[in-house]
Amino acid sequence: MTQTSDNVTWLTQEAYNKLKDELEYLSGPARTEIAAKIAAAREEGDLRENGGYHAAKEEQGKQELRVRQLTQLLQHAKVGEAPADDGVVEPGMVVTIAFDGDENDTMTFLLASREYASGDIETYSPQSPLGVGVNGKKAGDDAQYELPNGKKATVKILSAKPYTG
């Protein structure tokens, strides 16, 4: 899936293609659509009290931010294969952990960049405290990470399997 080191983001070919398609849509047809919305709203009159105009301009700003994010991400992307099914925690793996060694108190998540976030599985960035703590560990290992209050928490890695989407 993805692995970020410095400014390089590792992507599978499928993920790269998906992000490239999104960029092409936002850079072309979506720009034309939002420009038409803005023009139509502008013709309604007084722009100070024109909710449709302001909403369209806000949407345009969000869209342009996403275009810049995708452009930067894809400029520094390296395309490669999904991680090996070797039980080592790394970006692109679905990880199951147990809190404080209690195998009844577990959590499963995808270790990946937010580009992979979906409603199907919770996603943690490799740069997050939990992501940093578990990255490179193997099933059976203990990992420590820092909580927002500054205290340390320990989790046990139960499994790490490649994400299959």
Q: Can you give the residue ranges of every domain in the chain?
A: 3-80, 93-162
Q: Distance between alpha carbon 40 and the CA centroid of its chain, in Å?
A: 34
* pLDDT at res. 116: 62
Query: How crowded is residue 108: how many other Cβ atoms within 10 Å of its Cβ?
Result: 13
The encoded tokens of residue 141 equal 């290992």
Q: Are 160 and 87 in contact (CB under 8 A)?
A: yes
Q: Residue 126: what pLDDT? A: 86
Report whether 160 contacts 88 (CB < 8 A): yes
pTM, two decimals, is 0.58
User: Which of 134, 109, 135, 137 has its CA nearest to residue 123?
Assistant: 109
Q: Which two tokens stand for residue 135?
A: 């990255």
Domain covering 93-162 assigned CATH 3.90.550.10 in the classification: no
Give the per-residue pLDDT at 2.
45
Instruction: Supply the pLDDT for residue 163.
Output: 78
Angle between the 51-75 and 29-42 helix axes, to the nearest 10 degrees? 160
DSSP 86-116: SSB--TTEEEEEEETT-TTSEEEEEES-GGG
Q: Residue 33 CB: number of other CB atoms within 10 A?
A: 15
Beta bridge partners of 108: 96
The CATH topology of domain 3-80 is: Helix Hairpins (1.10.287)
Return the pLDDT at 1: 46
The per-residue pLDDT string of the chain (165 residues; one tens digit each, 9 = 90 and over) reads 444 444 456 677 777 888 899 999 999 999 999 999 999 888 887 777 888 888 999 999 999 999 998 898 888 777 766 677 788 898 888 999 998 767 788 999 988 876 666 667 788 888 889 999 999 999 999 999 998 899 999 999 999 988 776
